[in-house]
Chain A
Amino acid sequence: MNTLLLSTLLSLAVSGSVMAGDLVKMKGSTQGRVNHEFIYQDGCQTCHQGSGKKNATDAACVECHGDINSITVDESKLAIPEAHPHKSLHYNQGASCLACHGEHEKKAPVCTECHRTWFEVM
């Protein structure tokens, strides 16, 4: 998987204007993230074993990106130190990637259910 990840990063470097997490049209009417293009070429099986709505778990995210602890967040950009999305006071390790990140849609992170203005829809 890591080689795949590497090759995507390289292809991104030449593609210019699109940013790593941008949401673009992928397959038919399905939108997806630019850096995940290789997954779509693979037939979506990396995330969905079987049908679309059935299986999508953190396993695929973790395989490429590592677990929540190993993903660095630029702390200088946080509105307040407590609003660290990967070290939440409410959930800490007890959150799925999917609580805040969506692959096919822009999604507001779980904290916006109660709090305002800390994070953009991603």
Chain B
Amino acid sequence: MQSRRNFLKLSAGAAVGSLAATLSGTVQANTCGEINWDETVDVIVVGSGFAGLSAALNARRKDVGSVLLLEKMQVIGGNSAINGGWLAIPKNPIQLAQGVNDDSPEELVKDQIISGRGMHNEASLRLIANRALDAYHLCIDTGVKFRDGFNIQVGGHNKARAIRTQHGTGGDITTKLYEAGVKEGVDYRLQHYIEDFIMDGQKIIGVKVRKHYRFPDLKTGSSVFIKANKAVILANGGFARNMALREIVDPSLDPTLDCTNALGATGEVTLTAMAYGALPVHMNLIQTGHWGSPDEGGFGWSNALLSIGWHQGVAINVLNGKRFMDERADRKTCSEAIMKNRNADGSPAYPVVLFNYNNYANDDRVVRALRDKMAWKLDSLDAIATQFDIPVAELSRSIVEYNQHVRERKDPLFNRKMDTAEVLTGPFVVSRIWPKVHYCMGGLKTDLGARVIDGRSMEPIKNLYAIGEVTGGTHGEARLSSTSCLECLAMGIVVAETIKADLQGAV
């Protein structure tokens, strides 16, 4: 009976995956369903971002047996490795040293409730916030370095509580978690693409994996079956790079929008889980960053450069030479205003942002942007007009008018807060902008222990867990900056505890 069930499930699974025709020789249908497992481990972790790395390391530390982490790409780290390295930790030592003594996990939750706009999961936000110091210590213990004395208040937070890694990238964290895992016995494999789950009824018992896979060619490598005795942890991240899915769940997402994410953020594991009953929530809640540049791939430098641009400079429509928005409004408002800049054929007419060069000549953000040619130093408005094909008379008129508004500290056009604005005299730093898709608030529904919920029974799918950006419902309408890193690291600790508890319950 047992083996027959496996066979039935396996065939169903193969039909869901994209490789139904190439069922590997390891499945012996004629013996009615014996799966010849190529390998058996206790815990399989899918994905090597903050979530997967934290889960794998913590599972080892909880002594739940052998841990195998599978990653489809040729590098460890996913979005986490390219991320900005901001981490929100209430009561972190740097914050306390700065004299900010009135922060608490509850204060962070309060901020997240505001940005969640009623769609968030308060209990889950609280659980994560309460584990923030544990997440911080996980970093410190594994050798992660944060910037000395650096703790600031980032968008939507009511307190300065965001610390930043030494080099301003999540890679400072992923590389350390990875190295700690190597030392503590986590088995990591690159180029292992999860194709399908092997189910025994409402329990996951293993995965079908394309080993030696070379992204994005699904004909590379070959399929193997790996059994998971105790748990499969999904930590496969978001799906912002899956254009078809993105468009189906949010048709308002403009197809001209590029994406800040790593190329592997394509969500197929999320879809496979759904095919086995996992309940998706908030799939249409996808966050866009209005600080992208069309002159670089991914996240790049633009966001950092524009932290000067939005405050000290101005955004200009290239078609008519005019300002078109409050440069300091929120992500959604600015994205919408920017995307109205179109040529007659509907293609993007990328607006430009300009600010004075001299005050920022040695600023890292400017040096890097100019060096990598995603921004240009131009001496005059004439030069800007020529390079970006802007009507020069209109441009000059707009800047004269804007400078007047700066002097008066008042913006009658868009009501921007003008306290940081500078009179623009040139030479200028000029860059082009267009929003980019950034973060998926939606994903799989989990309980507080990170167990994946089956929508048909509203019960956990046995042995299946999910943490990080693959999950949905936690943040609601909008995630606050610096909270994903926290969530992934903290839930990696929580999921290891849950697995331990579930195993003890099972005995």
Interface residues of chain A, those whose CB is within 8 Å of chain B, are 53-57, 79, 82, 88-96, 98-99, 110, 112-117
Across the interface, name the chain B residue whose C-beta is closest to A48.
B212
The interface stretch among B165-173, B381-389, B420-428, B477-485 is B165-173
- On chain B, the residues within 8 Å of A112 by CB distance are 297
The answer, among A82, A95, A114, A115, for a CB contact under 8 Å with B74, is A95
Q: How far is the CB of B230 from chain A (nearest CB, A)?
A: 25
A-B contact count (CB 8 A): 93
- On chain A, the residues within 8 Å of B77 by CB distance are 90-91, 94
Q: Is A54 in contact with B212, judged by CB distance below 8 angstroms?
A: yes
Q: Is B169 in contact with A90, judged by CB distance below 8 angstroms?
A: yes
- On chain A, the residues within 8 Å of B219 by CB distance are 53
- On chain B, the residues within 8 Å of A90 by CB distance are 75, 77, 81-82, 169-171, 174-175
Across the interface, name the chain B residue whose C-beta is closest to A91.
B75
Across the interface, name the chain B residue whose C-beta is closest to A51.
B222
- On chain A, the residues within 8 Å of B75 by CB distance are 90-91, 94-96, 99, 110
Q: How far is the CB of B490 from chain A (nearest CB, A)?
A: 22
Q: Is A95 in contact with B76, judged by CB distance below 8 angstroms?
A: yes
For B, the interface residue count at a CB cutoff of 8 angstroms equals 39
Q: Does B299 have its Cβ within 8 Å of any Cβ on chain A?
A: yes
- On chain A, the residues within 8 Å of B333 by CB distance are none
Q: Is A113 in contact with B172, judged by CB distance below 8 angstroms?
A: no
The answer, among B48, B171, B296, B298, for a CB contact under 8 Å with A92, is B171
Bound Cα distance from A47 to B174, whole angstroms = 29
Bound Cα distance from A117 to B179, whole angstroms = 29
- On chain B, the residues within 8 Å of A89 by CB distance are 167, 169, 171-172, 175
Bound Cα distance from A3 to B190, whole angstroms = 30
Bound Cα distance from A94 to B170, whole angstroms = 13
A-B contact pairs, 23 of them (CB 8 A): A53-B217, A53-B220, A53-B221, A55-B221, A55-B222, A57-B191, A57-B212, A79-B371, A90-B75, A90-B81, A90-B82, A92-B178, A94-B48, A94-B77, A96-B190, A98-B74, A112-B297, A113-B262, A116-B296, A116-B373, A117-B371, A117-B372, A117-B373
Bound Cα distance from A114 to B304, whole angstroms = 14
Q: Does B409 have its Cβ within 8 Å of any Cβ on chain A?
A: no
Bound Cα distance from A116 to B300, whole angstroms = 9
Q: Is A91 in contact with B76, judged by CB distance below 8 angstroms?
A: yes
The answer, among A53, A57, A114, for a CB contact under 8 Å with B300, is A114
Greatest chain A CB density within 10 A among B75, B191, B373 is at B75
- On chain A, the residues within 8 Å of B190 by CB distance are 96
Interface residues of chain B, those whose CB is within 8 Å of chain A, are 48, 73-77, 81-82, 167, 169-172, 174-175, 178-179, 182, 188, 190-191, 212, 214, 217, 219-222, 262-263, 296-300, 371-374
- On chain B, the residues within 8 Å of A94 by CB distance are 48, 75-77, 81, 174-175, 178, 188
Q: Is B296 in contact with A115, judged by CB distance below 8 angstroms?
A: yes
Q: Is B296 in contact with A82, judged by CB distance below 8 angstroms?
A: no
Bound Cα distance from A14 to B199, whole angstroms = 60
Bound Cα distance from A116 to B169, whole angstroms = 17
- On chain B, the residues within 8 Å of A56 by CB distance are 212, 214
The answer, among A57, A98, A115, for a CB contact under 8 Å with B372, is A115
- On chain B, the residues within 8 Å of A57 by CB distance are 191, 212
Given A54-B221, A110-B75, check contact A92 B212 (CB 8 Å).
no
Bound Cα distance from A117 to B375, whole angstroms = 13
- On chain A, the residues within 8 Å of B299 by CB distance are 114
- On chain A, the residues within 8 Å of B76 by CB distance are 91, 94-95
Bound Cα distance from A95 to B212, whole angstroms = 14
Bound Cα distance from A98 to B296, whole angstroms = 23
Q: How far is the CB of B489 from chain A (nearest CB, A)?
A: 17
Q: Is A96 in contact with B191, judged by CB distance below 8 angstroms?
A: yes
Bound Cα distance from A91 to B81, whole angstroms = 7
Bound Cα distance from A93 to B296, whole angstroms = 26
The answer, among B188, B191, B212, B263, for a CB contact under 8 Å with A113, is B263
- On chain B, the residues within 8 Å of A115 by CB distance are 296-297, 300, 372
Bound Cα distance from A92 to B191, whole angstroms = 17
Q: How far is the CB of B493 from chain A (nearest CB, A)?
A: 21
- On chain B, the residues within 8 Å of A92 by CB distance are 171, 175, 178-179
Bound Cα distance from A98 to B72, whole angstroms = 13
- On chain A, the residues within 8 Å of B374 by CB distance are 116
- On chain A, the residues within 8 Å of B217 by CB distance are 53
Q: Is B212 in contact with A116, judged by CB distance below 8 angstroms?
A: no
Greatest chain A CB density within 10 A among B77, B167, B212, B221 is at B212
Q: How far is the CB of B299 from chain A (nearest CB, A)?
A: 6
- On chain B, the residues within 8 Å of A53 by CB distance are 217, 219-221
- On chain A, the residues within 8 Å of B372 by CB distance are 115-117
Q: How far is the CB of A95 from chain B (nearest CB, A)?
A: 5
- On chain A, the residues within 8 Å of B191 by CB distance are 57, 96, 98
Greatest chain B CB density within 10 A among A56, A82, A114 is at A114
Bound Cα distance from A29 to B463, whole angstroms = 48
Bound Cα distance from A82 to B220, whole angstroms = 33
Across the interface, name the chain A residue whose C-beta is closest to B374.
A116
Q: Is A113 in contact with B74, judged by CB distance below 8 angstroms?
A: no
- On chain A, the residues within 8 Å of B300 by CB distance are 114-115
Q: Is A114 in contact with B298, judged by CB distance below 8 angstroms?
A: yes
- On chain A, the residues within 8 Å of B262 by CB distance are 113
